Chains A and B, each alone.
Chain A
Amino acid sequence: MIKVNKLFKTFEGRGGQIVRAVDDISTEVAKGEVVVIIGPSGSGKSTFLRCLNGLEDFDDGQVVIDGIDLTASKTNLNAIRREVGMVFQHFNLFPHKTVLENLTLAQQVVRKRKPAEAKEKAMKLLTKVGIAEKAQEYPSRLSGGQQQRVAIARALAMDPKVMLFDEPTSALDPEMVGEVLDVMKQLAKEGMTMAVVTHEMGFAREVANRVLFMDFGRILEDAPPAEFFTAPKEPRAQTFLKQVL
């Protein structure tokens, strides 16, 4: 479903030195697979994830989503992005729209669905994430956990083939993490292809098919969670796990 080949992304840091945020990454995510990307902050995992839907333009390499090359000159990035849902750390709900409008807007504008159809789809998803009763509220009236669940529903409303999660629980109060993770687990169970950047080791252990450990913009370890959490091979991964577990 996702194929990444020799991906490079550099930033120009202060003083002109080049920071390699993504440094020669090649990997693949199969359909229905859940891949969790972990690593210390600044290791390039968010940048890598944002390259996957073209939100970050990369310097070199190739990203292929469902057979379509992002870098090919005739590729319409907007057409790919509607197939790739994304959930952000800070939710990024549209504050001037109600919860329901947050879910229906892109359906109508991008997918050209009829208002009634979009609304029905939206209500179904809101029920699924458990906040149908807040449909007419504005996002500012919702708790962080509820906002993030709305954000997940908003991405799902576009019927994406892949879902990307960029630290979806990092900005939440501890007691709200569970409700968001539950939604994500359910999604994984339904067979959604997911790439998740997170610090929730419990989630990685329970749900992931593979764990990618990143540092310095590279993938240092790529292993099933059982193997990774019990016997990591990389020394960097060993110290990281010792610190977080």
Chain B
Amino acid sequence: MPAKRRSPQWPWQGLLVLILIGLAAGLWFATQRIHYEWRWSRVPQYFLYHDEASQTAPVAGVVLAINPSGADSRIELQPEGGGQPVAVTVETDTLKVKPGDAVAEDQDLGAVRSWKIGPLTWGLWVTIWISFVSGLIGMVIGLITGLCRLSPNPTLRGLAILYIELIRGTPLLVQIFIFYFFIGTVLNLDRTVAGIGALALFVGAYVAEIIRAGIQSIPRGQSEAARSLGMSATETMIYIVLPQAFKRVLPPLAGQFISLIKDSSLVSVIAITDLTKSGREIITSSFATFEIWFTVALLYLVVTSILSQVLFWLERRFARSD
């Protein structure tokens, strides 16, 4: 049997590697030209840092004794005016007094260290939960609007079309401002609520169109079969049409939710400290502009990649019946 003729792949793969190396080199030369000094070592502390809290003497007095226990030391203080001795615990290597020393009130005795969550981690968390909550609400809004859009009732259909066109025809940034400064002021909303509300309304309009298309893609025979078995229109929608439609719209929905995570960076304009705003704040104090922006971009990329993997897995699970 003759072997199948196949053009070799490796020259093209080699070219790909070459182009990537070229891009990396270009980036390096570009930063050389502007004399940028990379300080990647400054970045980790914005995720997690070791905080030192200094411990001060609660009263003026004399150090009676210092009892080490593990890495800590317990300082016994005899107050000046007499009375019960007072104890302060510090870490041994930060100890600043000896037994017999006289200490003034509020004098620094040593410190206790603890791990603290940095602003980048915190910002990432805010981005994730704001996206999650607004995505969830947007999904509900989208489902209801999508069904209204297909309703035979002209009022429901008209309202749905109006909402979808309004949202899709205006920029999200403007919607966020309107939601925060107008609706937020009228209803006295917290900025987080306003941000989530604006994002949810925004994503809801797009989800509605996706769901409408999904429902319309299910053949009429499906609902006819369900109706011929005596199911009501609602039962047909719940048991027959929506499950099949949902399976079909999963890929476009995934794209929409990935967009939502990225679009959520716009809520930083109403002073919600999400990942983007955290990054901006850190830059003002660290001057590691490039490093922080690259890190922020990478974090968004990680979150969106994880989400797309999860949805891909869901899609494959639903494909069982194909």
Residue A92 interfacial (CB < 8 Å):
yes
Q: Give every chain A residue within 8 A of B247 (Cβ-Cβ).
A: 96
CA distance A89 to B226 in the complex (A): 15
The answer to whether B230 and A92 touch across the interface, beta carbons within 8 angstroms, is: no
Contact of B222 among A94, A110, A111, A154 (CB under 8 A): A94
Interface string of A37-70 (1 = CB under 8 A from B): 0000000000000000101000000000000000
Residue A9 interfacial (CB < 8 Å):
no
* A79 and B225 in contact, given A138-B320, A138-B321 (Cβ under 8 angstroms): no
Residue B62 interfacial (CB < 8 Å):
no
Of the candidates A55, A81, A85, A92, the one having the most CB atoms from chain B within 10 angstroms of its own CB is A92
Q: Give every chain B residue within 8 A of A93 (Cβ-Cβ).
A: 225
Q: Give every chain B residue within 8 A of A138 (Cβ-Cβ).
A: 320-322
Minimal beta-carbon separation of B239 from chain A (angstroms): 6
The answer to whether B224 and A105 touch across the interface, beta carbons within 8 angstroms, is: no
CA distance A155 to B320 in the complex (A): 25
The answer to whether A84 and B228 touch across the interface, beta carbons within 8 angstroms, is: yes
The answer to whether B224 and A96 touch across the interface, beta carbons within 8 angstroms, is: no
Interface string of B222-237 (1 = CB under 8 A from A): 1011111111100100
Interface size on A, residues (CB 8 A): 31
Minimal beta-carbon separation of B246 from chain A (angstroms): 9
Minimal beta-carbon separation of A232 from chain B (angstroms): 32
* A90 and B221 in contact, given A95-B321, A96-B247 (Cβ under 8 angstroms): yes
The answer to whether A154 and B229 touch across the interface, beta carbons within 8 angstroms, is: yes
Closest to B246 in A: A96
Q: Give every chain A residue within 8 A of B222 (Cβ-Cβ).
A: 92, 94
The answer to whether A92 and B221 touch across the interface, beta carbons within 8 angstroms, is: yes
Residue A140 interfacial (CB < 8 Å):
yes
Contact residues of A: prevailing secondary structure? loop
Contact residues of B: prevailing secondary structure? helix
Extra pairs beyond A92-B219, A110-B229 (8, CB < 8 Å): A84-B228, A88-B221, A94-B244, A96-B321, A98-B321, A139-B321, A154-B229, A158-B229
Residue B255 interfacial (CB < 8 Å):
no
Contact of B228 among A53, A97, A109 (CB under 8 A): A53
The answer to whether A105 and B239 touch across the interface, beta carbons within 8 angstroms, is: yes
Closest to A137 in B: B321
Q: Give every chain A residue within 8 A of B226 (Cβ-Cβ).
A: 94, 106
Residue B158 interfacial (CB < 8 Å):
no
Closest to A82 in B: B230
Contact of B231 among A78, A85, A90, A92 (CB under 8 A): A78
CA distance A139 to B219 in the complex (A): 16
Residue A86 interfacial (CB < 8 Å):
yes
Closest to A138 in B: B321
Q: Give 22 A-B contacts (CB < 8 Å), ordered by A residue.
A: A79-B230, A81-B229, A84-B228, A86-B225, A88-B224, A94-B225, A94-B240, A95-B321, A95-B322, A96-B243, A96-B247, A96-B321, A98-B321, A105-B239, A106-B229, A106-B230, A109-B235, A110-B235, A138-B322, A140-B321, A154-B229, A155-B228
Of the candidates B219, B224, B228, the one having the most CB atoms from chain A within 10 angstroms of its own CB is B228
The answer to whether A155 and B321 touch across the interface, beta carbons within 8 angstroms, is: no
Minimal beta-carbon separation of A141 from chain B (angstroms): 9
